[in-house]
Amino acid sequence: MFTGIVEELGSVIDRTGSRLRIGASLVLDGIKLGDSTAVNGCCLTVVDFDAAAGWWDADVSDETYSRTSLGDLATGDAVNLERPVRLSDRLGGHLVQGHVDAVGVVTEPVPELTVRVPPTLLRYIVEKGSITVDGVSLTVVEVDDEGFSTAIIPHTAAVTTLGRRRPGDPVNIEVDVTAKYIERLIAAQLPSEATHDES
């Protein structure tokens, strides 16, 4: 579980097959094999590391590459990094699982970051609700028929990848999991939609 508060801006050192090597420093503090780390909002497992040299490795499945924006990463690209939240930590963002729901597309850059998302996600996105874009916890400003907008402060633009995103760039989207649980719980209580022949 994460909070969507990016700890460090890392970089892709190498991507060979399923192996992704990330350059970092802060998130390597106390690192152990098997630890989880979110990369652009996608929870990955540490499979190798060298803290002194400043890198860690993750094995990324073809499924993850195809269903997230990680498949577009190239050597030198910046990535948002966050270690899992501890029970003693402040929850500065919102509860984030690191399970990407879809890849959105930036239509307007910061400061009014606007993202187009698949229509199936729109029912989970509400004005003033929480959403995660590339692992960054954000508040939704407006929702329309194609996506949503957020207001990005200069600090967030500077310390995350969001300040570098341009129209057409893919971004990982995770909606607030609470909305999905509520939908699942009440679905059985709602009457099924009947179709009527009006003719």
- What does the alpha-carbon distance between residue 35 and residue 179 come to, in Å, rounded to a whole number? 28
How many other CB atoms sit within 10 Å of the CB of residue 96?
A: 26
29 has pLDDT over 70: yes
pTM of the model: 0.91
The pair of structure tokens assigned to 199 is: 């003719």
Encoding tokens for residue 140? 């939704």
Tell how strand 19-23 and strand 36-39 pair up: unpaired
pLDDT over 60 (residue 193): no
Which position has the token pair 């994460």? 2
**All domains of the chain in start order, with CATH:** 8-82 (2.40.30.20), 102-185 (2.40.30.20)
* Nearest one of 108, 195, 193, 199 to 149, comparing CA atoms: 108
pLDDT band at 197 (very low <50, low <70, confident <90, very high): very low
The residues, any chain, with a CB within 8 Å of residue 78's CB and separated by 6 or more, are: 9, 10, 11, 161, 164
**Which residue in this structure is represented by tokens 């195809």?**
66
Residues recorded for the chain: 199
**What distance in Å separates the CA atoms of residue 114 and residue 190, rounded to the nearest whole number?**
33
Tokens of 194: 């009947």
Average pLDDT of the chain, as a whole number: 93
